[in-house]
Each structure stands twice: as C-alpha cells, then as structure tokens.
Amino acid sequence: MAHLEQFEGFISSGRALYLRVSVIWFAAIWSVWKSRNDKLFKNKNISMDQMIEEVKRLSWNGLKYESNSMDCDIVQ
C-alpha cells in the first residue's frame, strides 16, 4: 500500500482519477506477481511485452467494470 500511496502526489484531480490510477497500479502488481509465479513454479518465460499487454487488458477490464460510460471494447 505504501507503494501505491506514493503516487497520490501525482494525482491532484480528485478521487475519480485516483481510483483509475489504482486500477492500473493493481493490474501492474498482479501481472508482475503472476509472471513471477509462472517463472518459479511452471518454468514459463514471460516477456516484458506480454506483461505490458496483460496490464493493459486487466486495466481495461477493471476500468470498464467500474465505469458505465465506456461503451467500446479494447482492440487486441
């Protein structure tokens, strides 16, 4: 949580933007954690590009879930 809280200074536009950044931050942390576990326990090699795409996908899904105004889907 301390790592997330250090970004609060960058976000001066209020709670809505803070929540959006939080979704992206959690997606990034989850992707790193999952990639680490895949490497350690399944001997999979995950590229940085794959991790970035996973962060994008998870962030998009999380933001779309939280927002009623996002009518379009992510292009893959």
One-letter-per-residue 3-state SS of the chain: CHHHHCCHHHCCCCHHHHHHHHHHHHHHHHHHHHHHHHHHHHCCCCCHHHHHHHHHHHHHHHHHHHCCCCCCCCCC
Task: Give residue 22's pLDDT.
Answer: 85
Select the more confidently predicted residue: 15 or 56: 56
> Region 22-35: what's the mean pLDDT?
93
Task: Give residue 32's pLDDT.
Answer: 95
Banded pLDDT at 48 (limits 50, 70, 90): very high
Task: Give residue 18's pLDDT.
Answer: 77
Give pTM, 2 decimals: 0.70
> Region 3-9: what's the mean pLDDT?
60
